[in-house]
Amino acid sequence: MQVDTGFTFVLFGGTGDLAMRKILPGLYQAHRGGLLPAAGRIIAVARGFGNREAYLQWMHTHVRNHIKPDGDDPLWNDFLNRILFVRVDLGQPEDYALLRDAISQLSGIRVFYLATRPSLFVPICRALSIIGLSDGARIVLEKPLGYDLQSSKAINNAVGEIFVESHIYRIDHYLGKEPVQNLLALRFGNTLLEPLWRREWVESIQITIAEELGVEGRGDFYDSTGALRDMVQNHLLQLLSIVAMEPPHSMHTDSLRDEKLRVLRALKPIEPGAVSRVAVRGQYHTGVLKGVAVPAYITEQGVSASSTTETFVALKVEIENWRWAGVPFFLRTGKRLADRVAEIVVNFRAVPHSVFDSMALRNSSNRLVIRLQPNESIRLYGLAKQPGEGMNLQSVHLDLAFDKFFKEERMEAYQRLLLDVINGRLALFVHRDEQEAAWRWVEPILTEWTRLGTVPKRYAAGTWGPAAASALLAQHGTCWLEEEN
């Protein structure tokens, strides 16, 4: 729904990778779809250019590559008319006066998007407060928000002194993906799945976020972070909370986020002595990915040759409540894996007694596969009789082909979330309590790895990770789903 008033969207880190690949393209797509009011303006903040013309040329060269329309697009030039540029050295408080002067000429709600390193979050917020720009404004914070529970609380406390919680938007782009929205619709808009969505009928659940890429020039950052902090604490636990949550009272912000928080608080704590049994830590070495030789992690630029940072994590997670008691949730994420895929797999229990003598029945259970990337889809798998003589069963699936029902262009995650910020919708953003509950659960794993000096298990680039990740599931009589297209 289009907003009725203008807005001023201030993008700190206006020349960064995130601004180039996601934020500016997302704002352009919203503009192209007529979802932004004509009075809205975007102010890019950076120190690498001297004037607006130079910044617009940078956008022509770098941002156009990341938007969908090809060729000459008059809407692109129209979008550029929204763009202003202010050169600010974030370490120089006096430069913020230039930003104040630019904003004073504009109307509507103010949004400050901090696409910067986390160490700048608090200084930027304080500078905005000093020059009188924080009152009534909305602030968007990118991950990672802290290095551990203590540092996360410190950032939240400092930002919370300046902005009220209802104006703080902690972004997790996975929550903006179309299949995640459809998961909510499937569960809470229909009666078909909800009666089965519990321990009596679900055997196990897998959540995977696999990447083909390595650290891509971000070795300095990644080597001090690792996969557990970079992916599990936020993306994977957020997806888990969406999958496992109770039906909310409504789709209102507080109701939805309260139910996610209850899941995070119900996660079974991992005792120090159990970490090695439920958590697998890996690091990629040399290998072949799609026919191309790739180097080991420890030879990547910015990575220490003696690094013990994990590039892969697999976990067994349990939820201590009546709906999910005894159901294992398996989480997996890693770099330089065999394919780029993000998906949720719900494995339902087998029939209590088989009347068929069929290998298909013994080797394949009913399951729901929700693919988030690269091709978004939802498939429900079951068994059907093969044509011909005899009663031979074969695995088949039902496709929920949304593209056949809905002809509208699919909205990218960042586009949806940026519009939600501008329109003041918080439901798909992370509350402080959720974030801290996730850190509280993850931190004992980090502490135990440090205490024991746990060395990551090596895996060849281009594979699905260390063998121990498969063994983690084999203990429960199951395996990772890796063959879907």
Confidence of residue 138 (pLDDT cuts 50, 70, 90): very high
Q: What is the mean pLDDT of residues 245-266?
A: 92
Q: Which CATH number fits domain 7-142: 3.40.50.720, 3.20.20.60, 3.40.50.9100, 3.40.50.970?
A: 3.40.50.720
Average pLDDT of the chain is 91
Q: Which of 14-28, 280-294, 343-357, 388-402 has the lowest mean pLDDT?
A: 388-402
The yes/no answer on whether domain 175-410+426-474 falls in CATH 3.30.1300.10 is no
User: Would you list the domain boundaries of the chain?
Assistant: 7-142, 175-410+426-474
Q: Which of 22-26, 142-146, 329-333 has the lowest mean pLDDT?
A: 142-146
pLDDT of residue 2: 46
Q: Which of 169-183, 199-213, 229-243 has the lowest mean pLDDT?
A: 169-183
pLDDT of residue 92: 83
Question: Which residues fall within 8 angstroms of residue 379, CB to CB, at 6 or more apart?
Answer: 368, 369, 371, 397, 398, 399, 400, 484
Confidence of residue 358 (pLDDT cuts 50, 70, 90): low
Q: How far apart are CA 288 and CA 307, in angstroms?
A: 21
pLDDT of 403 above 50: yes
pLDDT of 483 above 70: no
Per-residue pLDDT of 156-173, as tens digits, reads: 999 999 999 999 999 999
pLDDT of 418 above 80: yes
pLDDT of residue 410: 80
pLDDT of residue 72: 55
- Cα dist from 408 to 25, 33, 68, 175, whole Å: 18, 10, 14, 20
pLDDT of residue 41: 97
The alpha carbon dihedral of 73, 77, 83, 84 has a sign of: positive
Catalytic site positions: 235
Helix H or strand E segment including 371: strand 367-373
Residues 247/187, Cβ–Cβ less than 8 Å: yes
Q: Which of 123-137, 218-232, 367-381 has the lowest mean pLDDT?
A: 367-381
Cβ burial, residue 392 (10 Å; 0-12/13-18/19+) = middle
